[in-house]
Structure 1
Amino acid sequence: MSTQAKGLSIGEVSAATGLGVHALRFFEREELFLRPIPRSAGGQRVYEQADIEWLLLCNRLRESGMPIATLRRFAGLVRSGPGNEPERLKLLEEHEQAVRDKIAELHASLEVIHGKVVTYREHVEEGTAAGLWSPVPSGPAAGT
């Protein structure tokens, strides 16, 4: 299919976004596009470059943890046009804070993990790693 005259095929959009064909169909079923995706005379979906740009944003929002329901709400707000920018801003600010909170949690986890890496590295290099955090049997069978 010619990308200039007839738009983009689902395969071309899949290649451009990294989303599988099934994911693109899912996005359409969930009403996450900004417009109904038209079809060719042969029934094939016909996308535009703007659809790719929107999908890349949607995919980034999903990868950052935005629930489908929230993404659907955001898409609906954008689709409905000007006048609801404060609602869009609020939705994006809430998601931004959720992502910042998750990053903080991950950073705290990384610090703990890094501490264990340093400890294990020292013990391995010194040859004293044997028995490091070995399970300790408990209960009546402990002596067996």
Structure 2
Amino acid sequence: MESTLTVQQVAARTGLSPHTIRYYERIGLIPSVERAANGHRRYSASDIGWIEFLKCLRSTGMPLAEMQRYVALQQMGDLTIADRLALLETHRDRLQAQIQQLYSFLEKIEEKIRCYRSQYLEGEKK
């Protein structure tokens, strides 16, 4: 029998709160979680891997509605692979644009740091 974890254990392992994990299940992002005889959720290694993927999507800014669309497509089977691929590629493209913008901002900050260092060093020489 495969070892399973409680929602608290999954929360500790993934860094998501138990509330978030339960919410993701409630809105259909985590389908088919097993329940123990007492009704408590029991998460498999596969569930945890899926939750980590959801965390990646959410942490990189994917809206919950898009995540739900992805899950719905996945549940439809292999006929939706092209749609899932397109969804992930669109998300990747948005991420790459954000990263480029962050690099641009970082360069502006670095420029200001160089300017202040230069002024600071000039002041120390006097």
- TM-score, reference length from structure 1: 0.80
Structure (1 or 2) with the larger CA radius of gyration: 1
Q: Percent of counterpart pairs with the same letter?
A: 35
Name the structure where helix makes up a greater proportion of residues. Answer: 2
1:84 match: secondary structure: helix
Superposed counterparts of 1:65-80, under 5 Å: 65-80=61-76
TM-align CA RMSD:
1.6
Gaps of 5+ in 2: none
**Correspondence 1:108 to 2:108:** no
Superposed counterparts of 1:126-137, under 5 Å: 126-127=122-123
**Correspondence 1:15 to 2:15:** no
Count of aligned pairs between the two proteins: 124
**Correspondence 1:47 to 2:43:** yes
**CA distance in structure 2 between the aligned counterparts of 1:19 and 1:60, rounded to whole angstroms:** 11
Structure 1: which 4+ aligned runs deviate by more than 4 Å?
none
**CA distance in structure 1 between the aligned counterparts of 2:10 and 2:26, rounded to whole angstroms:** 16
